[in-house]
Structure 1
Amino acid sequence: MSSLTARKITDIDLARRLVEQRGLSHVKVGVFDIDGVLRGKYMQRDKFFHALEHGFSFCDVVLGWDSKDELYDNVTYTGWHTGYPDALLRIVPESCRDLTCEGDMLLFLAEFDGPAGEICPRRLLQRVLARGGEMGFKVCGSLEYEFFLFQETPESIRDKGYRNLKPLTPDMMGYSMLRSSVHSELYHELLALSEAMDFPIEGLHTETGPGVLEAAIAVDDALPAADKGALFKVFTKVWAQRRGLMATFMAKWSPDYPGQSGHIHLSLRHTDSDTSAFFDADKPFGMSDIQRHFVAGQQKLMPEFLCLFAPTINSYTRLIPGFWAPTEATWGVENRTTALRVIPGSDKSQRVEYRLGSADANPYLALSAAIGAGLYGIAHRLEPDEPVKGNAYELDHPEHQSLPRTLWDAAQRLKASEAARELFGDAFVEHFAATREWEERQFRKHITDWELDRYFEII
């Protein structure tokens, strides 16, 4: 029993044994909401043991409010009209993590069950992956995130009104060995945290911009890959704040610097043979017919699924030419100006990179959309447009490759998407689209600095 660790927890019995072995009086339990925010609480040990077997009740308001705890007034699943009742949550034993910043404390993820499960982001991804399983595929994925670090605190950024913030380091220093060596202790701490909490970082480096880093998380099966990405975002912010710093994953915090991406790498393997479904050595670029159809589905449905990859008002400030973010539903081979980048390789490495997503996206929803669209392409034997060669920003693109330019427009495309309803279900589509409409409405209530500067005196 002494060798039992968080990573070895695969079932209810082992979860119970580990809690008992550590003599914990409480454990931490959390669930990711629509925006990818981790909501949860400490749970007393006996209650936790009961919840492992039977689930536990949790107020469904976490599916009925936004990232600022403002209540939606336009959703049907929950609200004042339902009285915000409890919903059933199921604890996921295999999600167990060590909370290294809290001694022997353990963290377990949960997911909504019953009617709430139709909206729950983690359950949505499971449904998409089940579709892939029925088609004979296992999905592997990994996430890459860019994020800025600031020498600020939650108090200081508010005192400053989010202006004149001080990044961890100055200037544009992409892939800088100077920066990573000067601040090596911070890098080592983050790398150690990623190993201890089972979202191991394969690569960590500075990106171009003051204080910006990029972390590539190790590949895994798609569901644990989503867990890793979601937990990485939360606990990178925890790690930073405990050291007097702040990390942000918002899509674009300054008009002067490139935005922050959340790139997704995906591949399919045949479940019966454990061989790549994407690699065919006899085809151009090693692309099998299956990969070609997968890319075609992603390309075709990108305009309809955009708000799952770009879920905030801020997301759309990133999607402009020349700032390393795609602006049309394009694809190419080893082309970083396109929305989809096919990466030729081998049975182990042939994949596609979905470059459209921003760092503010919910990993479960982004993966659901990227994988679901690809599976749709395979099922319907879709064909992609011709691959882009050269700079995609400089080309004229057909109308069907155009992406919505605002969150509101993106929400309307999702609501009208028959493919989205087929893949994700009516309940999720209606709920999520309504939450994005709500987000746009909240934005419209505010007057920006740009408007004051432009109109206050002269108009």
Structure 2
Amino acid sequence: MRQAGEETGVPLSNQEIVKLVSERKPACAKIGVFDLDGIFRGKYLAADKLRSALKKGFSFCDVVLGWDSNDQLYDNISFTGWHTAYPDAEARLLPDTLRMLPFEGGIPLILGEFTGRAEAVCPRGMLRRVLDRAAGQGWKVKAACEFEFFVFDETPQSARDKGYRNLRPITPGNFGYSMLRSSVHSEFYQELWSTCQDMRIELEGLHTETGPGVIEAAIQVDDALEAADKAALFKTILKILCERRGWMATFMAKWSRDVPGQSGHLHSSLLDAGSGESVFFDRGDKLHMSERMRWYVGGQQALMPELLAMVAPTVNSYTRMIPGFWAPTSATWGYENRTCALRVIGGSASSQRVEYRIAAADINPYLALAAAIGSGLWGIEQRIEPDPGIEGNAYEQESPERALPSTLWEAAQRLRASEAARDLFGSEFVDHYAATREWEEREARKAVTDWQLARYFEII
């Protein structure tokens, strides 16, 4: 069964898609959009309705842009709410994103994105606008994401019954790059690999990381918008495969104080749209960094404190950013230096790129890539020179001038105040998104944690 991008490399036409769906039993497809937290929201759609949606667009209740990851309604935004009565927002289907779901008998899946007024706050649409900015300079952006995730021998019900305490990972101990662990669970690894392959989420690598039940997946490089689609889909697909096995996966930035956090590193590079040559590579430079690559890194470094809320989007994100746990704590860069927030990777024209290491696995890939790429483009436009690259342990060479926000609330305020963010992403997005992060922090402050009880219950 041919799908978009297979065999001929030519996507199916709208008519072919409708015919494909109509001949299935049941005659329906799945469609969905990604919300501000990167959660996939969607539904089944009948073939007749799909025909209309492909031709004219469709409507999707705008509440998905007006509630949090727990479906709780924001009370501090103007875009939507009780004051607007949560109307439908305009959206379009993206036929080029057509994929088949192997675990649902090959049912078609098509991504959508918001249009009209909602496009200003649509995560995918916002990344697309950043990439249009690059295209206006004659550049194509390549990107790739890699994720670490923990897998548990738990179900959503058992995890809730346990209060998310004493959860059992699928494997004990550390065992980084373990051939033993991956061979024992080879059926799962191979199912994940083949499912991703079938869905055009091609993996470059898959291995155990150091920690109980932790795995890392690297997704192959692609055009940046497609890379974001793949990364966002990967998180959902991985969770589905785990839960179908009676397991559970988490992409939290840090689920336990006793183990390192989970990264979601972002790789990006620029190519000349005409020639396909690397914009970043300069054979004559000691690090093979072109002038534009220096400015790109300079922009990422300069704006990282202002855009951190888009890359560290949850309260939990900030528990990962402590020295010695493979997570950067300030806006530093270095050549092949994994203690820095930005790691320049060199060697050849095809490999010259920047790894945005501050990101954790809890990112919304659309927003995080928009922040990483947008700040780099801004750096080129402004010709921002980076600090001297860090050699050795960046944790021991931190500068107060490059300090990052330490809480989500602080990060949201920095985003609100950022003129560069408003230029890159639009004021409507900045105000809306900052408000959603302020809400998230307010919700967290309501919690009475185990730590608070143990610390204060008796002694205070």
Is the structural similarity TM-score above 0.5?
yes
Letter in 2 for 1:138: K
Letter in 1 for 2:51: F
Conserved? CA contact 1:4–1:18, under 8 Å: no
Residue 456 of structure 2 corresponds to: 455
Conserved? CA contact 1:22–1:104, under 8 Å: no
Letter in 2 for 1:36: G
Q: Which deviates more from structure 2 when the two are superposed, residues 264-273 or residues 8-17? A: 8-17
What's the offset of the Cα at 1:20? 4.0
What is the rounded CA distance, in whole Å, between the counterparts of 2:455 and 2:334 in structure 1? Answer: 40
What's the offset of the Cα at 1:19? 2.4
1:299-314 equivalences in 2 (<5 Å): 299-314=301-316
Residue 110 of structure 1 corresponds to: 112
Residue 181 of structure 1 corresponds to: 183
What is the rounded CA distance, in whole Å, between the counterparts of 1:377 and 1:11 in structure 2? Answer: 39
Letter in 2 for 1:435: T
Letter in 2 for 1:263: H
Residue 18 of structure 2 corresponds to: 16
Identity, % of aligned pairs?
Answer: 61
1:324-343 equivalences in 2 (<5 Å): 324-343=326-345
Letter in 2 for 1:332: G
1:36-47 equivalences in 2 (<5 Å): 36-47=38-49
Superposed CA deviations along residues 267-322 of structure 1, whole A, max 9, x for unmatched, are: 10001211000001011211011111000000000000001110000000000000
What's the offset of the Cα at 1:23? 6.0
What is the rounded CA distance, in whole Å, between the counterparts of 1:14 and 1:291 in structure 2? Answer: 43
What is the rounded CA distance, in whole Å, between the counterparts of 2:193 and 2:100 in structure 1? Answer: 15
What's the offset of the Cα at 1:15? 2.4
Letter in 2 for 1:442: E
1:34-183 equivalences in 2 (<5 Å): 34-183=36-185
What's the offset of the Cα at 1:87? 0.5
Superposed CA deviations along residues 415-444 of structure 1, whole A, max 9, x for unmatched, are: 000000000000100000000000000011
Segments of 5+ residues of structure 2 without an aligned counterpart are none
What is the rounded CA distance, in whole Å, between the counterparts of 1:413 and 1:122 in structure 2? Answer: 22
Residue 405 of structure 1 corresponds to: 406
What secondary structure sits across from 1:410 in the alignment? helix
Conserved? CA contact 2:298–2:379, under 8 Å: yes
What is the rounded CA distance, in whole Å, between the counterparts of 1:165 and 1:326 in structure 2? Answer: 27
Residue 268 of structure 2 corresponds to: 266
What is the rounded CA distance, in whole Å, between the counterparts of 2:351 and 2:45 in structure 1? Answer: 42
Conserved? CA contact 1:24–1:45, under 8 Å: no
What is the rounded CA distance, in whole Å, between the counterparts of 1:177 and 1:146 in structure 2? Answer: 17
Do structure 1's residue 438 and structure 2's residue 436 form an aligned pair?
A: no
Residue 5 of structure 1 corresponds to: 3
Letter in 1 for 2:446: K
**What CA RMSD, in Å, does the superposition of the two structures yield over aligned residues?**
1.0
What's the offset of the Cα at 1:18? 3.0
Conserved? CA contact 2:29–2:108, under 8 Å: yes
What's the offset of the Cα at 1:185? 1.1
What secondary structure sits across from 1:314 in the alignment? helix
Correspondent of 1:354 among 346, 353, 356: 356
Moved over 3 A (4+): 20-24
What is the rounded CA distance, in whole Å, between the counterparts of 2:398 and 2:420 in structure 1? Answer: 27
Conserved? CA contact 1:138–1:271, under 8 Å: yes
Segments of 5+ residues of structure 1 without an aligned counterpart are none
Letter in 2 for 1:402: A
1:369-380 equivalences in 2 (<5 Å): 369-380=371-382
Change in CA separation of 1:450 and 1:50 when aligned onto 2, cut-off 3 Å: same
